[in-house]
Each structure stands twice: as structure tokens, then as C-alpha cells.
A and B are shown apart, each in its own frame.
Chain A
Amino acid sequence: MSPPRRKKAASRAPVPEPNDEFWDLRLYVAGQTPKCLVAFKNLNELCRTHLAGRYRIEVVDLLEEPQLARGDQILAIPTLVRKLPEPIRKIIGDLSNTERVLVGLDLRPQA
């Protein structure tokens, strides 16, 4: 297949606030399975709510780019990888439990 396609699902925020970190997220899927579609939907909603303007989501379809599974140690599908900010975190599943995802991403709203 022709060059790997990475869907840029969200754009960089025009002017990130200096204190805020930039979030680089990567969602691994394997085809358009219901689980993957749910995960993608959940992720988009979550980011819009909590990371407006300072995130990027890259979707990797392993059926098209299987070689990428090795690099990020992907086993489960779907897997969300937080590349930035460091350290790397992984969240597997369809991201249906928003609370768990926020914990997993260290995005719990600060009190």
C-alpha cells in the first residue's frame, strides 16, 4: 500500500498557553471494528472537553501498518498511547469509562 496514512483528527491549537503542556496522543486500531470506532469517538469527546486546543490525535491502523505495533509494544486493540507529555502511558479498551481514562492520562481535573 502507498505511504502510511495517519489521520490527523485534530489540529494544533493556534496559541498554546505557556503553562500548559502539549498532548500528543496516538490511538492504535485494527480496522474499523465497532470497538475501535467507539474508542475513537470517546477519545475525541474527551480531548475536546479536557484538552481543548492543545492536543493531537494520531490514529494508526495496524492492518495497514503492522510494523508499528512493535515500536509501541501494542498487544491489545484499541490502545491509546500518550506520547507526550512524558512518561508514556497506555490505555487499552474502548475508552468507555471516562473517569478511568482521565486517571490513565493523568488528566484528573485539579481540585
Chain B
Amino acid sequence: MTADARSRAERAASPRFVLPKTPTGIEGLDEITGGGLPAGRPTLVCGSAGCGKTLLAMEFLARGALERGEPGVFMSFEETAEELTANVRSLGFDLERLEKDQKLLIDYVRIERSEIEETGDYDLEGLFVRLGHAIDSVGAKRVVLDTIESLFSGLGNEVVLRAELRRLFRWLKERGVTAVITAERGDGQLTRQGLEEYVSDCVLLLDHRVDEQLSTRRLRIVKYRGSAHGTNEFPFLIDDKGISVLPITSVGLQHPVSDERLSTGIPRLDAMLGGEGFFRGTTILASGTAGTGKTTLAAHFADASCARGERCLFLSFEEGVEQIARNMRSVGLALEPWLRKGLLRIDSSRPTAFGLERHLTTIHRAIAEFDPRVVIVDPISTFVGGGTAADAQAMLTRLIDFLKSRQITAFFTCLTGGHEHLEQTEVGISSIMDTWLLLRDIELAGERNRAVYVLKSRGMPHSNQLQEFVISERGIELLDPYLGPEGVLTGSARVAQEARERAAAAEREQQIESHRLTVDRKRRALDAHIERLRLEFEAEQAAAERAIAQGMELEKAVATNRAEMARSRRASHGGAAPATRKPNPNKRARRR
């Protein structure tokens, strides 16, 4: 290796300069910022009223103090220390305790314009002194100024204020504290007073929108100098554990892939899926109109998972736990034992109760707590009602990515509407599904029957058959398919077909039997014929042998007679007596 090449290699191997970052400890925020806020620099957090600026700032301090051991100063221009303490107590942050432990200092700066008269030149050195003293007294590494723009309403001299703010942010950088400055959203600009002009290292924008009566909070990194960052809007929410930001598709498509197969819980359905069922870690969609057995199918899968000893999280958005358990009991699926054993957990909530992001975070939390191998969402179609279709799809994509990254097999049900464009309605989500089972109602001969077919199943040979199934007290049972002139025969049409087939089979049986009898008869006739011939032959043979024996007797007798005559005549030889010759017709004997 040449010296030049080596130095190039070293340069490539040595870590690039990375902007030092201060983790916020806020769920998801550190992921999308690539590690947190710029360390030792001020960050501007702007947004309209009530979008969570103060909370984000406070959580930044509290988590810094609790998780990183970094003390913080919260300089509040709007709320008193008591109000702040009360506000975040519900999120599990005990600010009083943090203050007592010298981990946090809250300084409430009250500016009452009516109490203040301005005469002549002044500066904000008092603020600097206060902040400096506060930082020194707890050794703060993190500082929050919330909302410093209040100064503009409290003090009249804007020229002085702007100059002093510029000085303040420079001063904060010199102190090396990581600061969060909150500001109100202004018209046409990020902040009402144009603070983005002064704080230019990192700007986060919070937003709170209401679409169709459901509110969604979103966070966007407007700028982050010296660092790569996502430019998307990230949904976030505020709940009893503080803020959580939900990164969109942070894992991409780099999922681990498994060859392991999981039974659907229905043997004949497994048979339709290449004989073994679903792949582990894939996503399965079971869609169908109302009452086609989606939940039951899901319950079968849940039952099979628990039977394998794998934890299953069942997220129900239509029925409560008790109701599911009762309904499944009626079809022979006992879920209570699994619930008792802790293998099955059913979480029920109304989809419209919260926004999509809240649901997503709730699901994330439940998965983190319960660590299931199988997650069932019944149904996902309700989410479409909980936001726009695009939002729902984005949320599902995030959920699926999250599940896939954890090798969790996901089973979703989806309620489809009317009969037309049955497949069309789910086009949006189908591409992110690996296996798609379609449950259908088949109306034929005045009946409504259920059938299932595998619309797609990636990575396995699967049946192309539309198979009827019944839900009985033994659960879902797939039946043999019958194809008639009008398609698949179901219900009583199938029963009639079965009867016809049985009759035909019986007839065939009879024909075979009669053939067999005919052959039998013929064989017996043939046997008899052979026997008769054999008997005839034996009779003939016996007769022939008798004749031979007689012939030989005669020959002997003739010879004896000749000898005796010769002896009695003694003389002539020619005196043979023809009279002694019997008129024997036996020519053989005579010829001898």
C-alpha cells in the first residue's frame, strides 16, 4: 500500500467531524435530530399557542436532570414556578424535588408594563445577571427561556431589546449552555418578533392542527445547521409520559427476514398457504365485508400463537375484551386461559377516541411493554375514519415498519364497504401487506355463505381456490369447494351438489358390482366347461386303456392257442384251424 493510499484510507476510516449534540431524552426527538439538540448552542422552538412548546422545553430540562445528570435553568416569562410545577406533575415530573436536589432552578420573570416607566437609556444587564447567577448556582448545562418574546410586550424600546437579545444569544453560546428558546408563531415568519434571525443553529417548528375534529400535533425541523436532519413533519403527542415524536419510516426496508412459518390456526387454511401458513414477521391483511368472519379468523391466529407459547397482542377497535372472549367462546375458541396466562393481551379502545398519532404511540407503548411476537389489529379500516386516508396509510406504514423491524407478525383485519370495487378500496394499504386473505359473502340460491381466498401471499405457492368455510362451534372450518356453472357452489347448493355426487357414486358402485358378478358367472361357466371336457377325456382315456388291455390278452391267448395246436398236430404245420379264430374286429391286435 502506498503512503498516499494509506492516508486516504485513514481519512476514510477516521470518524468525520460530528457536531456535538445534547440528547433531549424525549422519545423520538433524538432519533429525528440524529442525537439531540446542538450542544452548547441555542435552539429555537416555535409554534402557536398550546402546541406544546413549554412542555417540550420543560421535558428537555427534566430529562436532562433526571437521565443525564445535567442541571438546568428554566427562565419563565409567562408562568410562575408553581404553575409550571403543577402543569408537569401530571406527566410524572416532580419539579419541586428537582429544585430541592439543586438539579433545576425555575426563575419566573414577571414583566408588568403598567408598573414600569421608561426614562432614558437602559439595557438588560439585569436579565443577564439573573440568568448568569441561576446558571452558576446549580451548575446548569441546559437553559430554557420561555417565552422571551414577552419582553417585547413588557418593554417598549424595541431597538434596545433587539440589540440585547442578540447579545443574550451570543452570551449563551459563550457560556456553553444548550439553550432552548421558545417563541410564538408569527404571521409569515416563524416567530412573531423574528427571533429566528438571532437563533440560527437549530429551529424546531411545532404545529397543532385539527382535521375533521381530530387534532394532530406535528413537529418539523426547519433548520439544523451542521447536521443532517429529516425534513418531514413528524407527528408527536403529549400524554401522561410526556412528549413522544413518531419517526416516519425510520427503518426503511432493511427488515430482517425469516423463513419460519406460523400456522393460521386453521389447518386447511395453512394448506392454502403453501401448506404451512404465514411467514414470521410478515404482515397479513384479512379484508371483507361485515360479518365475513374477520375477527374469528384473527382469533384463530391469536389462539394458535398462544398455543405455541408466543405472546399475542390483540388490539381491538370494535369490541371490548369481554365481548371478544364471549364471542370466540361461542365458536369454540377459549381465549380466557391465554388471557389468564398472560400470553394474550387484548387492548380495546375506540378509534375515534384519539388521533392517529395517539393510537400509534399507544400501540408502540403496548408493544414495548408486552413484547409480543404477534400483533393483531382489528380492524384497521376504522383508522381511515380517524383521519384522512393518507394519514391512515402513513400511520400504518410506520406501524408496519416498526413491527417488521422487531420481527413481529402482524395480522390486520379490514372492513370493506359494498360489493363494488371490493379490492379497490384497500389499494392504498395492500402494497404494504405480504399476505392478503379476502373473505367474501357469496349469495346464491337465496343464501349467503362465506368463502375465503388468498389474493396474494408473497414468497410461497398458494392456492388459487375460493374456498367456502363455515363458522361452527368448532370454529372456522374450510369445506371442499364445488364449482358449478355459476361459479363456486356454497351452502345448500353445495349440499345438493354433494347429494348428487353421492347418488352418482352409488350408481357407479352398482355398475362395478354388476360387472364383477358377470365376470364371476362367466368364470364359473368356463370352469364347468373345462371340467366337463376333462371328464370326457378321462372317460375316453379309460376306455382306450381297457381296449389295449383286452388286445394284449387276446394276443397272448392267440399265441398260446397256436402253440397248443402245434403240439397237438405235431405233424403238419399247415393244419391251422380257422375255426378257432374268433371274429375279433381288433385290427391292432391282428396287425401285430
Measured CA separation A69–B125 after assembly (Å): 10
Asked whether B125 lies within 8 Å of A90 as measured between CB atoms, the reply is no
Asked whether A76 lies within 8 Å of B117 as measured between CB atoms, the reply is no
Binds B, one of A7-15, A16-24, A47-55, A59-67: A59-67
Chain B nearest Cβ from A38, distance in angstroms: 8
Give the residues in chain B near A75, CB-CB below 8 Å: 109, 111, 124, 126-127, 130, 151, 155
Asked whether B110 lies within 8 Å of A101 as measured between CB atoms, the reply is no
Measured CA separation A94–B160 after assembly (Å): 13
Query: Are A66 and B116 CB-contacts (below 8 A) given A35-B123, A75-B151, A92-B122?
Result: no
**Residue among A39, A74, A92 with the highest chain B CB neighbour number at 10 A:** A92
Measured CA separation A92–B126 after assembly (Å): 11
Chain B nearest Cβ from A86, distance in angstroms: 12
Measured CA separation A104–B116 after assembly (Å): 8
Chain B nearest Cβ from A31, distance in angstroms: 8
Asked whether A77 lies within 8 Å of B121 as measured between CB atoms, the reply is no
Asked whether A93 lies within 8 Å of B119 as measured between CB atoms, the reply is yes
Cβ-based interface call for A108 (8 A): no
Asked whether A30 lies within 8 Å of B119 as measured between CB atoms, the reply is no
CB contact list, A53-111 vs B, under 8 A:
62-63, 66-67, 69-70, 73-79, 87-97, 100-101, 103-104
Cβ-based interface call for B107 (8 A): yes
Cβ-based interface call for B567 (8 A): no
Query: Are A78 and B129 CB-contacts (below 8 A) given A88-B115, A89-B115?
Result: no
B121, B126, B127: the one within 8 Å of A94 (CB) = B121
CB contact list, A28-48 vs B, under 8 A:
28, 30, 33, 35, 38-39
Q: Taking CB as reference atom, which chain B residue is nearest A67?
A: B133
Give the residues in chain A near B121, CB-CB below 8 Å: 35, 38, 93-94, 96
Asked whether A63 lies within 8 Å of B129 as measured between CB atoms, the reply is yes
Asked whether B126 lies within 8 Å of A101 as measured between CB atoms, the reply is no
Asked whether A77 lies within 8 Å of B124 as measured between CB atoms, the reply is yes
**Residue among B117, B121, B124 with the highest chain A CB neighbour number at 10 A:** B117
Number of interface residues of A (CB under 8 A): 34
Q: Taking CB as reference atom, which chain B residue is nearest A98?
A: B119
A87, A88, A95, A103: the one within 8 Å of B120 (CB) = A95
Asked whether A74 lies within 8 Å of B130 as measured between CB atoms, the reply is yes
Measured CA separation A78–B127 after assembly (Å): 11
Asked whether A77 lies within 8 Å of B125 as measured between CB atoms, the reply is yes
Chain B nearest Cβ from A78, distance in angstroms: 6
CB contact list, B298-355 vs A, under 8 A:
none
A33, A66, A92: the one within 8 Å of B133 (CB) = A66
Asked whether B117 lies within 8 Å of A73 as measured between CB atoms, the reply is no
Chain A nearest Cβ from B24, distance in angstroms: 27
Asked whether B117 lies within 8 Å of A92 as measured between CB atoms, the reply is yes
Give the residues in chain A near B197, CB-CB below 8 Å: none
Give the residues in chain A near B110, CB-CB below 8 Å: 73
Measured CA separation A70–B80 after assembly (Å): 13
Asked whether A104 lies within 8 Å of B129 as measured between CB atoms, the reply is no
Measured CA separation A28–B127 after assembly (Å): 12
Asked whether A28 lies within 8 Å of B116 as measured between CB atoms, the reply is no
Asked whether B151 lies within 8 Å of A69 as measured between CB atoms, the reply is no
Chain B nearest Cβ from A51, distance in angstroms: 17
Measured CA separation A89–B122 after assembly (Å): 17
Give the residues in chain A near B10, CB-CB below 8 Å: none
Give the residues in chain A near B117, CB-CB below 8 Å: 89-92, 100-101, 103-104
Q: 1/0 per position for B97-136, CB-CB distance to A under 8 A?
A: 0000000000101110001111111111111011011000
Asked whether B116 lies within 8 Å of A90 as measured between CB atoms, the reply is yes
Asked whether A74 lies within 8 Å of B126 as measured between CB atoms, the reply is yes
Give the residues in chain A near B118, CB-CB below 8 Å: 91-93, 100
A73, A77, A89, A103: the one within 8 Å of B111 (CB) = A73
Asked whether B120 lies within 8 Å of A69 as measured between CB atoms, the reply is no
**Residue among A38, A62, A93 with the highest chain B CB neighbour number at 10 A:** A93
Measured CA separation A91–B107 after assembly (Å): 22
Measured CA separation A100–B119 after assembly (Å): 6
Measured CA separation A71–B501 after assembly (Å): 98
Asked whether A66 lies within 8 Å of B130 as measured between CB atoms, the reply is yes
Q: Taking CB as reference atom, which chain A residue is nearest B156?
A: A92
Give the residues in chain A near B116, CB-CB below 8 Å: 90-92
Chain B nearest Cβ from A84, distance in angstroms: 15
Measured CA separation A77–B111 after assembly (Å): 14
Query: Are A70 and B119 CB-contacts (below 8 A) given A30-B125, A62-B125, A75-B126?
Result: no
Asked whether A73 lies within 8 Å of B122 as measured between CB atoms, the reply is no
Give the residues in chain A near B107, CB-CB below 8 Å: 70
Measured CA separation A100–B121 after assembly (Å): 13
B119, B124, B126, B133: the one within 8 Å of A96 (CB) = B119
Asked whether A28 lies within 8 Å of B120 as measured between CB atoms, the reply is no
Give the residues in chain B near A92, CB-CB below 8 Å: 116-119, 122, 155
**Residue among B118, B123, B126, B155 with the highest chain A CB neighbour number at 10 A:** B126
Give the residues in chain B near A73, CB-CB below 8 Å: 109-111
Query: Are A90 and B129 CB-contacts (below 8 A) given A35-B121, A70-B107?
Result: no
- 23 A-B contact pairs sorted by A residue (CB < 8 Å): A30-B129, A35-B122, A38-B121, A62-B129, A66-B133, A73-B109, A73-B110, A75-B126, A76-B125, A89-B117, A90-B115, A92-B116, A92-B119, A93-B122, A94-B119, A95-B120, A96-B119, A96-B121, A97-B120, A100-B119, A101-B119, A104-B117, A104-B119
Chain A residues packing against B (C-beta within 8 Å) = 28, 30, 33, 35, 38-39, 62-63, 66-67, 69-70, 73-79, 87-97, 100-101, 103-104
Q: 14 new A-B pairs (CB below 8 Å) besides A88-B115, A93-B118, A94-B122? A: A28-B126, A39-B120, A62-B129, A69-B130, A73-B109, A73-B110, A75-B124, A76-B122, A77-B122, A91-B118, A92-B118, A92-B155, A94-B119, A104-B117
Complex A-B, nearest 5 residue pairs according to Cβ-Cβ distance, in ascending order = A104-B117, A66-B133, A96-B120, A93-B120, A77-B125
